[in-house]
């Protein structure tokens, strides 16, 4: 069964550095999402992306965050200047239609030192 893959599984970065988290959604899916989960807390929506543009974003998704689909297969989340509070698991998800089930990757654990 096709799955969403995320790389790297664990990323350690110094505070203030830029980081790019990568995702390969399922190939025929059209809607893409990023969520994050701070340790011990609930999963939080960050952004949705459709037709090569952001369709919805949360208050968390400020100017430090950006998303891109640089080619037909990758979907990336960039954090420009990381802060300690950005430490979390980041999950990518995709779906063929906005009301269809979302398929999640296994996440990237981001640790900011």
Partner 1 sequence: DAKTTQPTSMDCAEGRAANLPCNHSTISGNEYVYWYRQIHSQGPQYIIHGLKNNETNEMASLIITEDRKSSTLILPHATLRDTAVYYCIGAGGTSYGKLTFGQGTILTVHP
Among 56, 74, 80, 81, binds partner 1 (CB under 8 A): 56
List the interface residues with partner 1, window 59-88 (CB under 8 A): none
Q: What is the DSSP string of 64-79?
A: TEEEE--SSS-EEEEE
CB of 28 to partner 1, least distance (A): 16
CB of 68 to partner 1, least distance (A): 17
Per-residue tokens: 100: 């269809």
CB of 81 to partner 1, least distance (A): 26
Q: Which is nearer to partner 1, 23 or 79 (CB)?
A: 23
Give the integer Cα–Cα distance in Å for 1 and 20: 27
Buried b (16+ CB within 10 A) or exposed e, 79-106: beebeeebbbbbbbbbbeeeeeebbbbe
CB of 74 to partner 1, least distance (A): 18
By CB under 8 A, name the binding residues for partner 1: 4, 31, 33, 35, 37, 42-45, 48, 50, 55-56, 89, 91, 93, 95, 98-107, 109
């Amino acid at each position: 069964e096709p799955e969403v893959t995320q790389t790297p599984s664990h990323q350690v970065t110094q505070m203030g550095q830029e980081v790019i988290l990568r995702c390969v959604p399922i190939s025929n899916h059209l809607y893409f999402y990023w969520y994050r989960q701070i340790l011990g807390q609930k999963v939080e929506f960050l952004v949705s992306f459709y037709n090569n543009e952001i369709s919805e974003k949360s208050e968390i998704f400020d100017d430090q965050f950006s998303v891109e689909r640089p080619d037909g297969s990758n979907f990336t989340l960039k954090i420009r200047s990381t802060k300690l509070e950005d430490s979390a698991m980041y999950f990518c998800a995709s779906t063929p239609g906005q009301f269809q089930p979302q398929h999640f990757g296994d996440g990237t654990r981001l640790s900011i030192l």
